[in-house]
Chain A
């Protein structure tokens, strides 16, 4: 298949891995920000091709993982109301709130529908004018423009029965929070290619400069990731700390301007709680005042931002890159995809789920530290 097979070539992968090894003079710790990259690294065994001096640490970029339990609880509460149809992306349905998930709510009779595009939720609202249709709008800068388009379109059509439960999050504030942590070990970032496709990468230039950390905008195929690692290693070994763009077939420095304009129109930057990580200032998007009438929290009551239950799960440490999934004592035993203790075992992009799915219990034996 074009645009895929050429980025999965084994010979090229070996050549890149060898080039990385030639540049190394010491050990380095890199974080791939996006869960899609984590997924590819574990699926294709990219970490096993790299010299052992390179430690790849998995970042917070799993949208369903960082959505606070309180928002899942609110979505379940809203969906349980008889007049409401709740539309959500598929992988949010299995994410546990403080008690249960949306799939369980659906089995109890709630009208919960999987949509592939936010605009599909508008179609549901048009088709059922007697029902209130709520879109569970979560995700990073990648999904935010499509949700913004849904808001713009709803406004244009005057769809009075459509609203959004918004819990969007932004990548650069999370990277700053990780770098500011006293326990930070990250020496370079593979930035999330698709986030940068939308937002461009000028926001990362002050981060690279202030923390003296190389940032390479990186794609999602095996050769993308290997090349991103190579570019990071070259910068680290040369003592540089620049923003570079590996994913140039998709990303421009200024990003997608119309998408950014839609975001500015519909959303405003708000403080956001990240599940497992905590509060990060100016790290989320909420509806702008001009679109507040589309806010499901206005219609159906605000999210109750209570305390997160503490338990055995170490997903917060995993999302901050401070632990690997296999360093959790519950991994693969008390915590599995069938009985997850935390979100990182639930989502397809969650680091724990990726290790469990592609490495199984062999991972616990220590093959992937």
Chain B
């Protein structure tokens, strides 16, 4: 719709800019200014952005947590979320896992030539909504456009800072023998929702990603004075990768109880069909908390008061065993070893 007249004597990219991203939108000129002024800045709507300076200037008291992550997902929009909500929640959750209250994010957008502007509008609106829900500001950013075929629609990179509120350091080094593992809810929804959408598996059930900010449940634990030793959000590699990473870093063993780990029936059924282990499937709104044993029951009760962690449960404990060993007691009472997933999760033949 750059030119409806059929007469091509006009600029190939007039002020209304058509309905898709063009290379000129990243060129630093008027088209780029148009993109920023009409789509991105209004959506993010922050005083720091309105200053139109090279960076944001922030005042923060006390220790600061700082993290960064890049987001690539196909399809860009999936049931229960999109790359925008993922990019905000992912970085917000990494900050929360440091025992920090997230404050501000930066946003780097890499857009592929030909990306529909309506889709971009939808995704930046989703970032705005996710930021509002998590209570963070989007204070600085960058936009680049790359040739068609050089990006999967769009990539987003976010970095964030948060103010550390945990009274003691939260991390694998704090994990002690006897700590309870509290899981904030059922697992595997995000991975199966994205796989079902990407591969058009045709599942009739409406699998939805669990993509959500985890600030509220983490703050609930810290505000109540729960002895939180370590936090880890479950992302790629699922619960298995998170548990193995922490067991290895902490030099402890972990024993999980499979019966206590909630998996929704539709997720479980999809895993059975595809030959996948729910422990290895990705999540975007779940975390594992290592809690001192005397506080574990109270932590679960607190988490269950919040919608995002309403199904929290104790799913295991830290033990003396060999460093890095994670085992899982199955329904028949026999323990199996849990390893990191090896390579991409590939559905099996039959």
By a beta-carbon cutoff of 8 Å, the part of chain A in contact with chain B is 1, 4-5, 8-10, 13, 36, 42-46, 48-49, 63-64, 89-94, 103, 114, 116, 138-140, 142-143, 194, 222, 337-338, 347-349, 356-360, 362
Contacts and interface: CB of A to CB of B under 8 A. Distances in A.
Given A358-B336, A359-B337, A43 B330 contact: yes
A8 B331 contact: yes
Contact of B347 (A45, A91, A94): A91
A54 to B, nearest CB: 16
Interface string B329-344: 0111111110100110
A349 B346 CA distance: 12
Interface in B247-283: 265, 268-269, 272, 274-275
B287 to A, nearest CB: 25
Given A1-B269, A89-B347, 7 more contacts: A5-B331, A42-B336, A114-B347, A194-B350, A348-B275, A356-B339, A360-B325
B332 A13 contact: yes
B348 A10 contact: no
A265 to B, nearest CB: 21
Nearest to A194: B350
A10 B339 contact: no
B199 interface: yes
B199 A358 contact: no
Contact of B339 (A13, A43, A222, A357): A357
B201 A116 contact: yes
B337 A63 contact: no
A143 B220 CA distance: 51
Contacts of B337: 357-360, 362
B348 A91 contact: yes
Contacts of A348: 275, 346, 348
B122 to A, nearest CB: 26
B349 A63 contact: yes
Contacts of A4: 268, 272
Contact of A338 (B199, B275, B333, B342): B342
A116 B332 contact: no
**Nearest 8 A/B pairs, CB to CB:** A45-B334, A90-B346, A360-B337, A358-B336, A337-B342, A8-B331, A90-B347, A89-B349
A143 B349 contact: yes
Interface in B48-64: none
Q: Which of B275, B334, B337, B343 has the most CB of A within 10 A?
A: B334
Nearest to A220: B272
Interface in B305-350: 325, 330-337, 339, 342-343, 346-350
Contacts of A36: 350
Contacts of A349: 348-349
Given A10-B331, A348-B275, A43 B348 contact: no
A46 B332 contact: yes
Given A1-B269, A359-B336, A116 B347 contact: yes
